[in-house]
Amino acid sequence: QVQLVQSGAEGKKPGASVKISCKASGYIFSSYYLHWLRQAPGQGLEWMGIMNPSSGSTSYTQKLQGRVTMTRDTSTSTVYLDLSGLRFEDTAVYYCARAVGDDAFDVWGQGTMVTVSS
């Protein structure tokens, strides 16, 4: 079945970097754009950016420009989120999600908890 499986929880110190993976299966990897979103504890959803798995092109929210990088490995159908210069406010559950139609997210990863603490 179609699924996105993310890597496990991470604990990091302020200023460090984190890299999260999202492995796609059950569909043609290059056919759907993948997005990254996050959700701080008890808060709503925040969009981070989009990747075209076919071309590798990306677009990020201006809020995170300079700190976020999205990459992919087509040989393993995996996309990666790299977030640098971590701050306490980056503590959140990070999701990858597949986009269909007009950027509606029909398949989500299970989420990866990233905790930033000293």
Partner 1 sequence: DIQMTQSPSSLSASVGDRVTITCRASHPINTYLIWYQQRPGKSPQLLIYGASSLQSGVPSRFSGGGSGTDFTLTISSLQPEDFATYYCQQSYNTPLTFGQGTKVEIK
Q: How far from 83 is each of 15, 16, 75, 92, 101, CA to CA, in Å?
A: 10, 9, 23, 12, 27
Rule CB under 8 A: say whether 105 interacts with partner 1. yes
* CB 84 to partner 1: min, Å: 20
Rule CB under 8 A: say whether 62 interacts with partner 1. yes
* CB 48 to partner 1: min, Å: 9
Rule CB under 8 A: say whether 10 interacts with partner 1. no
Rule CB under 8 A: say whether 104 interacts with partner 1. yes
Rule CB under 8 A: say whether 118 interacts with partner 1. no
- Only one of the segments 11-19, 23-31, 38-46, 73-81 lies at the binding site for partner 1 (rule: CB under 8 A); that segment is 38-46
Grouping H, G, I as helix, E, B as strand and the rest as coil, residue 9 is coil
DSSP 31-79: GS-EEEEEE-TT--EEEEEEE-TTT--EEE-GGGTTTEEEEEETTTTEE
